[in-house]
Structure 1
Amino acid sequence: MNLMSVDGYQARISYNPETDQFRGEILGLSGGADFYGSNPDELRREFKQSLEVFLEVCREQGIEPRKQFSGKFNLRIPPELHEQLSMEAEAQGKSLNALAQEALQDSLRS
């Protein structure tokens, strides 16, 4: 995955061969903010500038800049997988939630 970090914020970077530019999209914001650059230095400068503008607008309007998360989400899986995971969790002496949380944490380390 192509990520760039600035001041604790991350952006997903993609390349558009038609315009010969990189595009960054800042992740985890309560609104949209993107930026463009032709090389890594320009991209990083534009990232900082776009982030500063976004944060200033949030301050002016009293908006929380980062998305808020409850810690809950629904996951739809096939019933057979649900059964297998439930049995695996039980065999390990864990809740299904704990098993899923461990697997999700491990996926971030990969």
Structure 2
Amino acid sequence: MTYLKYKGYLGTIEPDIESGTLYGKLAFIRDLVTYEAVDLKALEHEFRASVDGYLEDCIALGKAPDTPCKGSFNVRVGHDLHMAASVVASRENISLNDLARRALSEYIMNHAGQ
């Protein structure tokens, strides 16, 4: 999927076949922020305006804006995989967090172009 990018936010691009318009929303945040337009150039403009408006609204409300992908997430892997990963991390003298980071990085490097 291709995303629009602005001020650290990512926005989706979706077509509405019936109306012939494009629409999207800010990705990877809990707050719902949407935008729409008739063509891609206008959609990007609306996306940027939506990000700016969202940030302004958060300031006005005294609310911290959601940020996409804060850098931590919980993963449920099951007992056996958790145990195996812990043993490997211990043997390598690294934290389980470092092992998971390395594994994710390697996977992404090997699959990013697909």
TM bucket, shorter chain: 0.7 to 0.9
SS in 2 for 1:94: coil
- RMSD between aligned residues: 2.8
Name the aligned partner's letter for residue 17 of structure 1: I
Distance 1:73 1:49, change over 3 A: closer
- TM (norm. structure 2) is 0.72
**CA contact under 8 A between 1:29 and 1:65: conserved in structure 2?**
no
Residues 21 and 38 of structure 1 are in contact (CA less than 8 Å); yes or no, is this contact kept in structure 2?
Answer: yes
1:21 is the counterpart of 2:55: no
Looking at structure 1, the residues matched to 69 and 6 of structure 2 have their Cα atoms a distance apart, in angstroms, of 21
Separation in 1 of the partners of 2:76 and 2:37?
38
- Answer 1 or 2: higher relative contact order, Cα 8 Å, separation at least 6: 2
Q: Give the distance between the partners of 1:4 and 1:71, measured in 2 at CA.
A: 20
Are 2:3 and 2:13, in contact at CA under 8 Å, matched by a contact in 1? yes
1:52 Cα shift? 2.3
Deviation (angstroms), 1:108:
5.3
Report the count of equivalent residues: 110
Q: Please list the CA deviations of residues 13-54 of structure 1 after superposition, one character each: whole Å capped at 9, or x if unmatched.
A: 233333333222113546221111232201111112222222
Which residue identity is paired with 2:32?
A: G
Counterpart in the other structure of 1:85: 85
**Which segments of 5 or more consecutive residues in structure 2 lack a partner in the other structure?**
none
Gaps of at least 5 residues in structure 1 are: none
Matched-pair identity in %? 27
Structure 1 residues 17 and 67: CA distance shift in structure 2, 3 A: same
Residue 18 to residue 61, structure 1, CA distance change in 2 (3 Å): same
Q: Higher mean Cα deviation, 23-32 or 91-100? A: 23-32
TM-score, with length taken from structure 1: 0.74
Shift of 1:2: 1.9
